[in-house]
Structure 1
Amino acid sequence: MEFVTYEQEGFIGVVTINRPKALNALNTEVLELLNKVVDAVDLEKTRALILTGAGAKSFVAGADISEMSLLSKAEGENFGKIGNDVFRKIETFPIPVIAAVNGFALGGGCELSLSCDIRICSENALFGQPEVGLGITPGFGGTQRLARVVGIGKAKEMIYTASNIKAEEAYRIGLVNKVCSADELLDEAKKIAKKIVRNAPIAVRASKKAINDGISLDMDNAIVIEEKLFGSCFETEDQKNGMKAFLEKRKVEGFTNK
């Protein structure tokens, strides 16, 4: 069985963690396959990615404890680096990535969703960072991204208490953008993706880069990043065609990614 699968639907790519018997838990093999799948995405043909898990029970239930239980200090650090490298690649991927979270998103699963730009979840979704109950810390970016998304106080509460939260609470604190039924989840993710791919791809990518690069800077330096990316759009055919269509009171026939 291929533990990570990829499907192309027009301008949308769908990546699925496909290890349902293990609740899509992340071991070294799955992380390496995920890395290869992301590297293989054709950015000329793909303008948005959806990341989800196989089956109805779990997005990703966490990192594989059976593998982690045997690790030494050095091996544990290396395992954390493997996960962090892949998740950082997703976080900084040029095009938007949407997490469609079905069921459990615990530990590494919560951290994987946090590396995505937009998160939507099913009504039965469950989020949490249970690592301290196992004698470890979150190791794939959870101590860093969770606080940036939901605030330091809530992140510390979730991590220190190893408490899980349900879908509605995840929505309330801003961890997810939307909650829907399990049957509608993938379709809802595709609806968002389709709205994204209708827009100028270069501008969407520049917007993602501006947000990601500027978020950790002070405002004076952050707006310089925005100015440069804003200016770079004026070299594109899409900008010229988009503004011409607006002035002529018509819709753009289709952005060309040039």
Structure 2
Amino acid sequence: MTDTTPLFSVPARGVGLIEFNRPTGANRIEVSDLRVLHDLISAWESDQQAHVLIFAARGRHFCSGFDLRALLAEARSGEGGAADGSGGFETLANRIEGTRLITIAAIGGPVMGGGTDLALACDFRLGTPRAYMQMPAAQFGLPLYSGALQRYVSRLGLNWAKYLILSASRANADEMVQMGFLGRLVEADDLNDECLRLATELASMPGKPMSAMKQGLNAAAVGNGNSDCIRKLLGGAFDGNIISSRIARARTNRSNQRRGYHD
């Protein structure tokens, strides 16, 4: 462990928080961080009370992606040339996309390179007016890995994906909202509170159906949403007892509200 190791905390019941912790290096992800991040995600997934995971960052940047020095070392040694560090960074992004947890990216500043893919792998993305994004891989002659290409297209659409990746253009916060990269903008001082409010609301819902629907939506984005495995997953998340109790609770709450009572 070092003083730049990603940090983990539990700010609310059922809500985990991972913070990138290399502010003087634009919160780039180094090789040593990959295992730490996988371990943090695994540990939180294994907690049956865990439903939501927020990704945030210390300092001005959200994340600048994978350490390019590791890629250069691979290329010079003749061991690689992939844009994800022998699959490690892509595997991390795929892991974030595929986790049963509902994920939120709190983007308070610039997000660059592979950091944009980590954000796109999350289910929700909130940002501030200070945020901007750029994918500079084309400028460096660096072929972007396939998982990132798929997420860019499935989240933003083909036209935006081509514009951002092939021209390496920078997009400001308003453009990030317009293209769907950010769900909404909040003031910088409110970002953490807004992400925690959303996370707490999500964590209050039954986790298994939420996770199943997340997997179904992600599959639908790439044309696999009607597959047998997704149908089985959704069917397995159906629990009549939970549904009945939640409906009864909602009716009771509505009745109390009409009478002027509150929980």
TM-score range (shorter-chain normalised) is: 0.7 to 0.9
Structure 1 residues 32-65: Cα deviation after superposition (integer angstroms, max 9, x where no partner): 211111111143121111001111x100022212
Partner residue in 1 for 2:23:
20
Structure 1 residues 87-120: Cα deviation after superposition (integer angstroms, max 9, x where no partner): 1111010011001112111111101101111111
Which amino acid in structure 2 is aligned with residue 249 of structure 1? T
What is the alpha-carbon root mean square deviation over aligned residues?
A: 2.1
1:81 is the counterpart of 2:87:
yes
Which amino acid in structure 1 is aligned with residue 120 of structure 2? L
Assess, with a 3 A threshold, how the Cα gap between structure 1 residues 31 and 232 changes in structure 2: closer, same or farther: same
Assess, with a 3 A threshold, how the Cα gap between structure 1 residues 240 and 225 changes in structure 2: closer, same or farther: farther
1:48 is the counterpart of 2:52:
yes
TM-score (norm 2): 0.86
Q: CA deviation at 1:235?
A: 3.2
Assess, with a 3 A threshold, how the Cα gap between structure 1 residues 23 and 218 changes in structure 2: closer, same or farther: closer
CA distance, structure 1, for counterparts of residue 133 and residue 198 of structure 2: 22
Alignment of 1:20-39 (within 5 A): 20-39=23-42
> Which of the residues 231, 236, 243 maps onto 1:232?
236
Structure 1 residues 208-247: Cα deviation after superposition (integer angstroms, max 9, x where no partner): 122123332367x35x66654443344364223113334x
TM-score (norm 1): 0.87
Is the Cα–Cα contact under 8 Å of residues 210 and 225 in structure 1 kept in the other structure? Answer: no
> Which of the residues 71, 81, 102 maps onto 2:74?
71
Q: CA deviation at 1:85?
A: 0.9
Structure 1 residues 172-210: Cα deviation after superposition (integer angstroms, max 9, x where no partner): 111110111222111111111111112111221121122
| Identical-residue share of aligned pairs (%) | 23
Partner residue in 1 for 2:201:
195
Which amino acid in structure 2 is aligned with residue 23 of structure 1? A
What runs of 5+ residues in structure 2 fail to find an aligned partner?
Answer: 255-263
CA distance, structure 2, for counterparts of residue 14 and residue 175 of structure 1: 21
Partner residue in 2 for 1:210:
216
CA distance, structure 2, for counterparts of residue 153 and residue 74 of structure 1: 34
1:148 is the counterpart of 2:154:
yes
Assess, with a 3 A threshold, how the Cα gap between structure 1 residues 114 and 80 changes in structure 2: closer, same or farther: farther
Q: Describe the SS at the equivalent of 2:81.
A: helix
Q: Describe the SS at the equivalent of 1:15.
A: strand
Assess, with a 3 A threshold, how the Cα gap between structure 1 residues 61 and 234 changes in structure 2: closer, same or farther: closer
